Chain A
Amino acid sequence: MQNIRNFSIIAHIDHGKSTLADRLIQATGLVEERDFRDQILDTMDIERERGITIKSQAITLPYVNRKGQSFELNLIDTPGHVDFSYEVSRALASCEGVLLLVDAAQGVEAQTMANLYAAMEHDLEIIPVINKIDLPSADIDRVKEQVEVDLGLDSDLAILCSAKEGIGIEDVLEAITDQIPPPSAVSEGPLEALIFDAHYDPFRGTIVSCRLFSGSVRSGDIIRLMYNGATYKVEEVGVFRLEREPKNRLSAGEVGYIISGIKTVSNTRIGDTITLDHDPAPAPLPGFKEVKPVVFASVYPVASDDYRSLVDALDKYKLNDAALVFQKDSSAALGLGFRCGFLGLLHLEIVQERLEREFDQSIIMTSPTVQYRFTLTNGEQVTVDNPVYYPDPVTIEQAFEPYIRASILMPERYMGAVMELCLERRGVNSQFNYPTPGRIEIQFDLPLAEVVYDFYDNLKTVTQGYGSFDYDLLDHRESDLVKLDILLNGEKVDALAQIVHREGARPRALQACKRLKEEIPRHLFKIAIQGAIGGTIIARSTITPFRKDVTAKCYGGDITRKRKLLEKQKKGKKRMKMVGSVSIPQSAFVAVLKSDIG
């Protein structure tokens, strides 16, 4: 156990996290030069393209230090978005130390701070690493001062490196072995293994990634998941190299995987504790929390014939994403589909994109909403996460919407703009902290509904990327809600309805009308777009029809060219939904919520 080091790399976006991980993997000789590709830990296309990490990954690196001692270094790569902050916290809980990466040119940024706090919360050893020292604009002295003053870390210990150029990589590895303590784990006690992620493998079922805090596990053992008491027989344990490498057993302090016939990842819970059935741990490891969806939206196939195929795709998708929940749904405008729950907006976008790309689905996703509660005049309590089921307004006694406690960290100069943004979004109960000079943390109680769509984007805009955002769900609070209907040529389109705060109804309606006017292509007839509450029209816009669109001659018999053009238009239209005689592009259903800044 003395030769094990469990660590993670944390950094502001673009400070070079993936590149450093790549270099560490290369330096330890785990991968041949010819097999190497950039962002080696980001296996999904979408991760590589967006440059973000969605799922946690672990990899065990063999390393012999300068003194000749052999080590097993477990690098746990963490997702980098507020939607996945719980996953991040579980990954950090599996480590003893972190590399805090700072860009030598950019210096300390918002996420650097937020990451530092997260690491401090878990009482981890923090090694500051100043990356990109090869850049002409690198200002090492200034960044060292920031490390000292802003982060409160010893800047003499900061390691200088350039992951891109391969400079200082060995120093980083040496620091990991020297400064990060070995895991303090109990080899003799009952098994306590923390699940920090789970992947689905079509041949082996669920592969659980875990960190053992106590005891050991080997194949043949009967394990128990403490959250639901389910038991499974262990088929294989091992560690992650680039591929899985089976071992006889996993012992306290180690990071590895367990395969045990768990069918889908939904049968596991991140943060849950695995123990042995015959010798269980007295209590689960601390920090477990069941992740509940907070954002809801419906998914429909563009062509109604594709419903079966969507069912299959969602079932398969779910195998690898326990956080997604869904149930059957139907809409007058869009037909049969599913109501889905997501961890947040990024999660929603990822699900949408992966369904389209990896599962080849052509889908329409409606605008996201949160879970509202209503007390009816007959005393009944109802929960509504779909505007279609908004209760008859005359029967509503009281309405409630979910609130969050938002915490925003930024350089002081953006305080005015952020305050304005939060107040505009109905923020209350503000509080200010000054964690370090020049930086400020603002806390606000905000309705979740005001945050779900584009709050994070807007925050990035008004703080020029320096604002970081985190939140905890608080409670449901009484609110004055109304249902905003959208009508196209006089017909209500259920899938475009929204539940909104009464004061925000008119701006929202105007915005929806404006967006739809931009999104819906011109037709041969006029399209009237209206926003209404009950029978009252509160906003409208009009799409003017085509006046003239006929050109190309069809003479001399070259019909092929003309038909190819039509085939293209036909294909384009396959991605639209017909509501009455109006064709609505897929994108319009989500775009209605988009505001002007984002």
Chain B
Amino acid sequence: MPKVSPGLYIHVPFCRSKCPYCAFYSIPSPSLIPIWLDGLKKEISLYSGQFDPFDSLYVGGGTPTFLGAGVLADLMKHLFTHFEFAPDTEVTVEANPCDLTDEKTETLRGLGVNRVNVGVQSFDDGVLTFLGRRHSVQDVNGALNRLRRFGFENVGIDLIYGFKKQGLKGWLNTLDSALSFHPEHISCYQLTFEKKTVFRRLRDKGQIEPLIESEEAAYFLTASQHLEINGYIHYEISNFAKDEACRSRHNQKYWRHIPTLGLGPSAHSFYGKKRCWNVRSIKKYHAAVEKGRPPVEGCEDLTEEQLWLETLSLGLRTSAGIDLGIVSRIPQSYAVLSSLQASGLVKVIDGRIIPTREGFLVADQLPVCFFEGV
């Protein structure tokens, strides 16, 4: 392991409006920002001094750029004074295209943010409207150009795909538009119908027709092939990096069982063998930290079996795959591996099981193959 420094995540649970497909915790109430910030500072003091220097900081949400420049500055400064960070720390902030004004972009730059991940979603105005996004393609172009102009050398673009309204051709156009900005990182997320979202309700009522399996596969393969042809590395099912150095250092920690501390309502933390998650409500969150208690809703100590399960399932979603040793205890692993190899779903290279592009397509089923039916 070359790097085992922990990562720090900050959850900003605010958005201008709730997107109809999003299940993450966020609310459109700017009036709660002061309570949240106050709570966050108190939570920070609970953990201050207890961690090795972090080498990744990820401010996500919600929409971090929904915060005013002053709040952002207050937050970042507070973090940098109360926690230790390695000199080359990756500092990512998620951004909404219409929030990236000259002023805010400059603020971010000035606060030491060195990676901005832009919630572009699509380069098609019709699709953006369908997705309930408030920005336009024009806003996107402006934001991406502005980031470069202010000197950001590590820019990520988030895209959503896989619905009838988009069309395969439209998806390919969006990918090409994204490529034209030469972003360091592209995330392609398939539209999923999460519980308690507007889209889920619409789908259940038959008002949104989901893709069939072979169509989903076509969208996925299109992205994978097209971006790889253009030099990107498909290093995790949803993630593409321009080169090795451009991978998201922070997100990889989640897949590699590296400890991460998550602060803010609904944030998750992992301490090597234990996972904890915070309460989702800002009020409960604040009430807890006010009394000097961690705002934790639940914790679980992972058994060896659970760790194994996670290693297997998270690893098989990445291009690094998993060590052969991880499945060697399964009596029929040889037979399973042979079938998977013969079907072109995995390759075995240097003692590791590596999913192929077709393997990525069924990455959630791959671990299941290794479960003992015995």
CA distance A574 to B190 in the complex (A): 31
Give the residue name and chain of the A residue nearest to B25 (CB).
A556
A-B contact pairs, 29 of them (CB 8 A): A302-B373, A303-B374, A305-B374, A524-B343, A524-B345, A524-B362, A525-B345, A546-B365, A549-B362, A549-B363, A549-B365, A550-B317, A552-B364, A554-B317, A556-B24, A557-B254, A557-B260, A559-B275, A563-B309, A567-B306, A570-B309, A573-B368, A573-B372, A574-B373, A578-B335, A580-B339, A581-B332, A581-B336, A581-B338
Q: Which residues of B contact A580 (CB under 8 A)?
A: 332, 335, 339
Question: Contact between A563 and B313 (Cβ–Cβ < 8 Å)?
Answer: yes
Question: Contact between B372 and A578 (Cβ–Cβ < 8 Å)?
Answer: yes
A555-B251, A573-B372 in contact; A563/B310 too (CB < 8 A)? Answer: yes
Query: What are the 9 A-B residue pairs with the smallest beta carbon separation, nearest first?
Result: A557-B268, A576-B373, A578-B373, A581-B339, A525-B343, A548-B217, A550-B363, A573-B371, A547-B213
Question: Contact between B362 and A555 (Cβ–Cβ < 8 Å)?
Answer: no
CA distance A583 to B268 in the complex (A): 35
Give the residue name and chain of the A residue nearest to B192 (CB).
A551
What 1/0 flags go to A335-375 for Cβ under 8 Å of B?
A: 00000000000000000000000000000000000000000
Q: Which residues of A contact B251 (CB under 8 A)?
A: 555
Q: Write the nearest CB–CB distance from B314 to chain A, whole angstroms.
A: 6
Question: Contact between A550 and B340 (Cβ–Cβ < 8 Å)?
Answer: no
The interface on chain A, measured as residues whose beta carbon lies within 8 A of the other chain's beta carbons, has a size of 39
Q: Which residues of A contact B60 (CB under 8 A)?
A: 556
Question: Contact between A304 and B365 (Cβ–Cβ < 8 Å)?
Answer: no
Question: Contact between B254 and A553 (Cβ–Cβ < 8 Å)?
Answer: no
Q: Does B71 contact A (CB under 8 A)?
A: no
Q: Which residues of A contact B190 (CB under 8 A)?
A: 551
Q: Does B171 contact A (CB under 8 A)?
A: no
Q: Write the nearest CB–CB distance from B92 to chain A, whole angstroms.
A: 12
What 1/0 flags go to B269-301 for Cβ under 8 Å of A?
A: 110000101000000000000000000000010
Q: Does A562 contact B (CB under 8 A)?
A: yes
Kindly identify, within residues 69 to 114 of chain B, every residue whose CB is under 8 Å from any CB belonging to chain A: none
CA distance A545 to B306 in the complex (A): 27
Give the residue name and chain of the B residue nearest to A545 (CB).
B343
Q: Does B232 contact A (CB under 8 A)?
A: no
Question: Contact between A549 and B364 (Cβ–Cβ < 8 Å)?
Answer: yes
Q: Write the nearest CB–CB distance from A66 to chain B, whole angstroms.
A: 66
What 1/0 flags go to B27-53 for Cβ under 8 Å of A?
A: 000000000000000000000000000
CA distance A560 to B275 in the complex (A): 8
Question: Contact between B374 and A553 (Cβ–Cβ < 8 Å)?
Answer: no
Question: Contact between A554 and B254 (Cβ–Cβ < 8 Å)?
Answer: yes
Q: Write the nearest CB–CB distance from B247 to chain A, whole angstroms.
A: 14
Q: Does A424 contact B (CB under 8 A)?
A: no
A525-B343, A581-B332 in contact; A560/B277 too (CB < 8 A)? Answer: yes
Give the residue name and chain of the A residue nearest to B313 (CB).
A566
Q: Write the nearest CB–CB distance from B355 to chain A, whole angstroms.
A: 10
Q: Does A55 contact B (CB under 8 A)?
A: no
CA distance A415 to B337 in the complex (A): 57
Q: Which residues of A contact B254 (CB under 8 A)?
A: 554-555, 557, 559
Q: Which residues of A contact B238 (CB under 8 A)?
A: 553
Q: Does B161 contact A (CB under 8 A)?
A: no
The interface on chain B, measured as residues whose beta carbon lies within 8 A of the other chain's beta carbons, has a size of 55
Q: Which residues of B contact A303 (CB under 8 A)?
A: 372, 374
Question: Within the complex, which residue of A547, A556, A558 is in contact with B214, where a contact is CB–CB below 8 Å?
Answer: A547
Q: Which residues of A contact B217 (CB under 8 A)?
A: 547-548
CA distance A550 to B366 in the complex (A): 10
Q: Which residues of A contact B255 (CB under 8 A)?
A: 554
Question: Contact between B237 and A550 (Cβ–Cβ < 8 Å)?
Answer: yes
Q: Which residues of B contact A550 (CB under 8 A)?
A: 220, 237, 317, 360-365
Give the residue name and chain of the B residue nearest to A559 (CB).
B310
Question: Contact between A553 and B269 (Cβ–Cβ < 8 Å)?
Answer: no
Q: Which residues of A contact B270 (CB under 8 A)?
A: 557, 559
Q: Which residues of B contact A515 (CB under 8 A)?
A: none
CA distance A581 to B365 in the complex (A): 14
Q: Does B152 contact A (CB under 8 A)?
A: no
Q: Does A569 contact B (CB under 8 A)?
A: yes
Residues of chain A touching chain B, judged by Cβ–Cβ distance below 8 Å, are 302-305, 523-526, 545-560, 562-563, 566-567, 569-570, 573-574, 576-578, 580-581, 583-584
A525-B342, A563-B306 in contact; A304/B374 too (CB < 8 A)? Answer: yes
Q: Which residues of A contact B306 (CB under 8 A)?
A: 563, 567
Q: Which residues of B contact A556 (CB under 8 A)?
A: 9, 11, 24, 60, 262, 267-268
CA distance A566 to B312 in the complex (A): 10
Give the residue name and chain of the A residue nearest to B221 (CB).
A548
Q: Write the nearest CB–CB distance from A109 to chain B, whole angstroms.
A: 45
Question: Contact between B267 and A524 (Cβ–Cβ < 8 Å)?
Answer: no
Q: Does B189 contact A (CB under 8 A)?
A: yes
CA distance A553 to B60 in the complex (A): 15
CA distance A302 to B340 in the complex (A): 24
Q: Does B323 contact A (CB under 8 A)?
A: no
Q: Write the nearest CB–CB distance from A198 to chain B, whole angstroms.
A: 37
Give the residue name and chain of the A residue nearest to B338 (CB).
A581
A555, A557, A566 interface centre (most CB from chain B within 10 Å): A557
Q: Does B369 contact A (CB under 8 A)?
A: yes
CA distance A550 to B358 in the complex (A): 11
Question: Within the complex, which residue of A305, A548, A559, A562 is in contact with B362, where a contact is CB–CB below 8 Å?
Answer: A548
Q: Does B216 contact A (CB under 8 A)?
A: yes
Question: Within the complex, which residue of A305, A524, A549, A573 is in contact with B340, where a contact is CB–CB below 8 Å?
Answer: A524
Q: Which residues of B contact A547 (CB under 8 A)?
A: 213-214, 216-217, 361-362
Q: Does B367 contact A (CB under 8 A)?
A: yes
A573-B368, A578-B373 in contact; A560/B213 too (CB < 8 A)? Answer: no
Question: Contact between A557 and B269 (Cβ–Cβ < 8 Å)?
Answer: yes
Q: Which residues of A contact B338 (CB under 8 A)?
A: 581
CA distance A559 to B311 in the complex (A): 11
A sample of 13 more A-B contacts (CB under 8 A), given A551-B192, A573-B373, A578-B332, is A305-B374, A524-B362, A525-B343, A546-B362, A553-B238, A554-B254, A556-B60, A556-B268, A557-B260, A559-B268, A560-B268, A563-B309, A580-B332
Q: Which residues of A contact B343 (CB under 8 A)?
A: 524-526, 545
Give the residue name and chain of the B residue nearest to A303 (CB).
B374
A559-B275, A578-B332 in contact; A583/B373 too (CB < 8 A)? Answer: yes
Question: Within the complex, which residue of A545, A562, A578 is in contact with B313, where a contact is CB–CB below 8 Å?
Answer: A562
Q: Which residues of A contact B367 (CB under 8 A)?
A: 566
Give the residue name and chain of the B residue nearest to A547 (CB).
B213
Q: Which residues of B contact A551 (CB under 8 A)?
A: 190, 192, 364
Q: Write the nearest CB–CB distance from B125 to chain A, whole angstroms.
A: 25
Q: Which residues of A contact B362 (CB under 8 A)?
A: 524, 546-550
Question: Contact between A577 and B275 (Cβ–Cβ < 8 Å)?
Answer: no
Q: Which residues of A contact B371 (CB under 8 A)?
A: 569-570, 573-574
Q: Which residues of A contact B277 (CB under 8 A)?
A: 558, 560
Question: Contact between B373 and A577 (Cβ–Cβ < 8 Å)?
Answer: yes
Q: Which residues of B contact A566 (CB under 8 A)?
A: 309, 313, 367-368
CA distance A202 to B166 in the complex (A): 69
Give the residue name and chain of the A residue nearest to B187 (CB).
A555
Give the residue name and chain of the A residue nearest to B191 (CB).
A551
Question: Within the complex, which residue of A302, A526, A553, A569 is in contact with B189, where a contact is CB–CB below 8 Å?
Answer: A553
Q: Write the nearest CB–CB distance from A362 to chain B, whole angstroms.
A: 10
Question: Within the complex, which residue of A524, A558, A574 is in contact with B369, where a contact is CB–CB below 8 Å?
Answer: A524
CA distance A76 to B320 in the complex (A): 71
CA distance A526 to B343 in the complex (A): 8
CA distance A546 to B364 in the complex (A): 11
